[in-house]
């Protein structure tokens, strides 16, 4: 009986994988990696292969999502297979689906976790994690199509006095990675239609760039100024705080993210 192990690669480069993940990859008969669900800017495939001591077969979105990962499942029926995944391996729903299909075929599955942008961005912001509501992805706009869901999630969270974590769209195959500025522009387009004042020029927001790297950037400011801030290369993440802040949250945003002093007026 074979085995399929999902191993998280972490946030930035090959050194983010855990020792347990390295050991699992070294013991595996075959190692796959998907690198399309997130951008690991510092990752070197050559260095990763040297670290684990074997070849890593990179698979794309088509094999995982359109072809049902059939080659991976076939190997896992008889061998020890590892699938390396950016971030934490079960954040993306596509990997949960793969795990379920493996279990239904009688393949034993294991998960070795790693750092995720979900926890890293929240931690870097200084906001309290239990005050976050539903998170959402801001997609690239399409011609004649404006996606309203991200905006409405931000609005509904604010109504409930909750923070919102916004993942920004990536299209690895096209080398397109949404920036904080592009994400804010997309949300402004919806604001023009809905006029609920969920994302205005005076809304407080936080941009996070390259979490997990030595040159990570965290900047909090009002949207009108945040749009002009240079965050450098992607990946970027966006956070909208609730309308009210705990005093420790306000201090963290001012001290750690350079937020304007007047946000102390949001403390209740």
Sequence ranges of the chain with CATH classification 3.40.1010.10:
3-112
| Residue (of 196, 194, 204, 207) closest to 236 by Cα position | 207
Across the range 237-247, mean pLDDT stands at: 97
Q: Which residue has the higher pLDDT, 30 or 37?
A: 30
- The CATH number of the structural domain formed by 117-266 is 3.30.950.10
User: Does a cis peptide bond (omega within 30 degrees of 0) precede residue 201?
Assistant: no
Complete DSSP assignment for 204-227 = EEEEEESTTSTT-EEEEEEHHHHT
Reported as a pLDDT band with limits 50, 70 and 90, residue 142 is: confident
pLDDT tens readout for residues 95-110: 999 999 999 999 999 9
CATH 3.40.1010.10 fits 3-112, yes or no: yes
> In whole angstroms, what is the distance from residue 64 CA to residue 92 CA?
12
Enumerate the CATH 3.30.950.10 domain ranges in the chain, comma separated: 117-266
For the stretch 110-132, pLDDT in tens is 999 999 999 999 999 999 999 99
Q: Specify the DSSP element, H or E, that contains 104.
A: helix 93-104
- Mean pLDDT, residues 56-60: 94
Kindly write down the DSSP assignment for every residue of 147-158, as one continuous string.
Answer: --HHHHHHHHHH
Mean pLDDT in residue range 234-255: 97
Nearest 5°: the CA angle 64, 136, 206 is 125
Question: What is residue 120's predicted lDDT score, i.e. its pLDDT?
Answer: 96
pLDDT number for residue 44: 96
């Amino acid at each position: 009986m074979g085995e399929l192990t999902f191993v998280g690669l972490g946030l930035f480069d090959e050194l983010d994988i855990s020792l347990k993940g390295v050991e699992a990859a070294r013991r595996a008969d075959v190692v796959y990696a998907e690198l399309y669900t997130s951008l690991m800017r510092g990752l070197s495939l050559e260095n990763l292969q040297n670290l684990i001591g074997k070849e890593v077969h990179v698979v794309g979105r088509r094999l995982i999502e359109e072809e049902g990962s059939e080659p991976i499942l076939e190997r896992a029926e008889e061998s020890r297979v590892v699938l390396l995944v950016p971030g934490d391996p079960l954040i993306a729903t596509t990997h949960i689906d793969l795990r379920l299909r493996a279990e239904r075929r009688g393949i034993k599955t294991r998960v070795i976790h790693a750092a995720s942008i979900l926890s890293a961005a929240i931690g870097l912001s200084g906001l309290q994690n239990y005050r976050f509501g539903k998170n959402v992805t801001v997609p690239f706009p399409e011609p004649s199509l404006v996606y309203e869901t991200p905006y409405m999630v931000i609005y509904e969270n604010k109504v409930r006095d909750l923070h919102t974590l916004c993942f920004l769209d990536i299209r690895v195959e096209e080398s397109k990675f949404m920036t904080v500025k592009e994400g804010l522009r997309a949300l402004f387009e919806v604001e023009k239609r809905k006029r609920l004042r969920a994302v205005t020029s005076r809304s407080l927001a936080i941009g996070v760039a390259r979490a997990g790297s030595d040159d990570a950037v965290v900047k909090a400011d009002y949207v009108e100024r945040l749009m002009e801030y240079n965050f450098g290369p992607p990946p970027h993440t966006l956070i909208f705080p609730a309308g009210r802040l705990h005093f420790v949250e306000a201090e963290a945003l001012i001290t750690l993210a350079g937020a304007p002093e007047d946000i102390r007026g949001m403390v209740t």
